[in-house]
Amino acid sequence: MQTHQAKRVEITIEAVMETRLTNALIKAGVTGFTVLPVLGGSGRSGQWSREGQVSRAGGMVCVVCIIRPERLDALLDAAFSVVERHIGVVSVVDCEVLRAERF
Amino acid sequence: MDGILALAADNLLSPIILFFALGLLAAFARSDLSIPEAIAKGMSIYLLFSIGFKGGVSVADHGIDQTLLLSLVAGLILSFGLPMIAFGLLRVMTRLDVTDAAAVAGHYGSISIVTFVAATSVIGSAGLGSEGYMVAVAAVMEAPAILSALWLIARFGKSSAEMEEGLMREILLNGSIVLLVGSFLIGWITGAEGMDKIAPLVVAPFQGVLCLFLLDMGLVAGRGLRDARGVLTPGVFLFGVVMPPIGASLGLAAGLVLGLSTGGVVLFMTLCASASYIAVPAAMRVALPEANPSVYLTLSLGVTFPFNLTLGIPLYLAVASAVAGG
């Protein structure tokens, strides 16, 4: 099976920033992404859990994008403009996809 | 004094408080008891719908007067002003920096709609009525304090706070406000006839749903307190129980000047005494991410909310009854 090189960017960010991040990604030409709920975790800001959150202020979401390598810089610039001051993690890994024309 | 103690005792033994206490104890004991997220959300939607609709029907029954407009204006002024007092107190009583103090202050100018709902339940049990439009006062008091917090940062802080594009629209059109105001308007338009049609849903299940919702709030508050004990210094904790009576005193003065009923005065006191833990934390995370959310969430949800629920509301009821009669 023919596969193609791609980049998988995973951005874990506060739920209140989700729309701002996805808007910034769309503005940067990234139209394909998946938003996942996050159950809980621990980091520099302490431990937290989705259980018992009364507002979106305490929740986190994970935005996953798979893009062509040449579009990575534009995506990271857009993402960084949103996440810079906020709690969150941005990671990039190499991956392979089957249908390159979709990314 | 005996009257106040008797009211406090009655309140402490009411189902809503006992269920809240059960939630607190379960969280402290690390029980796996939990209310599924979607059910908790559904219950909050029901409570907002019910309280808004009943308020609108009450206005339809009793009509409107200039007190309605003056109450809205008073609510706006207090919501803008209370954060200034809270900020001053925090700077004197605690070691919080300007950013955290301003963020906390913003919460104390806004309101807790669940505390308001609990207060309506308590005054109902005491046989008191209230002005239906207090629901609208609650709605207008939700957002102005956020602007006050951002102004405090701009005036006294080193970090920048941004009222970015779209944030104010998100605050003013958040789901709670839309549902509360929308239900209020529908209740006002349809009046007693509308109430007759949906009373079995709006009235009868209200107390039971409130009990379950407060069980969940007890779990949330207990877990918050358990996980964030480090931020609760004596000064910060003291602020969480001193600020509500100060706000309530201003609410009492405003209610008396406006000539509200005793029940209305209690609700105004409760609104001024309560602290937001839904709308303002979300706004602060966007506009002021440098502020520590553990501090403001623990204070508003873990200290002030239980204080108001257990001791504050009966105290406000006793004081308002003594001053305004009833």
pLDDT reported for residue A49: 72
CA distance B293 to B296: 5
pLDDT reported for residue B162: 63
Q: Give the nearest partner residue to A52 out of B223, B279, B284, using CB atoms.
A: B223
Region A12-41 average pLDDT: 89
pLDDT reported for residue A33: 93
Q: Is the pLDDT of residue A68 over 70?
A: yes
pLDDT reported for residue A56: 57
In tens, the pLDDT along B31-63 reads 989 888 788 889 989 998 998 999 899 888 877
Cβ neighbors of B32 (< 8 A, separation 6 or more) are none
Closest Cα of chain B to A22: distance in Å?
14
Residues of chain B with pLDDT under 70: 1-5, 7, 159-165, 326
Q: Which residues of A are less than 8 Å from B301 in CB distance?
A: 54
pLDDT reported for residue B44: 87
Q: Give the nearest partner residue to B293 out of A17, A20, A57, using CB atoms.
A: A57
Closest Cα of chain B to A1: distance in Å?
43
B208-247 residues touching A, CB cutoff 8 A: 216-217, 219-220, 223-224, 227
Instruction: Classify residue A52 as left (phi > 0), alpha (psi -120 to 50) or beta.
Output: left
Q: What is the pTM of this model?
A: 0.85
pLDDT reported for residue B154: 86
pLDDT reported for residue B228: 75
Other Cβ atoms less than 10 A from the Cβ of A90: the count is 15
CA distance B47 to B214: 11
Please give the residue that has the higher pLDDT: either B21 or A42.
Answer: B21
Among chain A residues, the shortest Cα distance to B283 is held by: A57
Closest Cα of chain B to A86: distance in Å?
6
ipTM of the complex: 0.72
In tens, the pLDDT along A7-20 reads 999 999 988 889 88
Which residues, listed in sequence order, are joined to residue A94 by a DSSP beta bridge?
A7
Q: Which two tokens stand for residue B247?
A: 């706000």
pLDDT reported for residue A53: 63
* DSSP category for residue B158: S
Give the C-alpha distances (Å, rounded to integers) separating B203 from B52, B93, B101, B191: 12, 43, 40, 14
Q: Is the pLDDT of residue A52 over 80?
A: no
Mutate: best of B169, B280, B286, partner A, most A CBs <10 A: B286
Mutate: best of B99, B171, B285, partner A, most A CBs <10 A: B285
Region A57-78 average pLDDT: 88
Closest Cα of chain B to A40: distance in Å?
14
Give the C-alpha distances (Å, rounded to integers) separating B113 from A19, B6, B218, B239, B273: 26, 26, 15, 21, 12
B72-131 residues touching A, CB cutoff 8 A: none
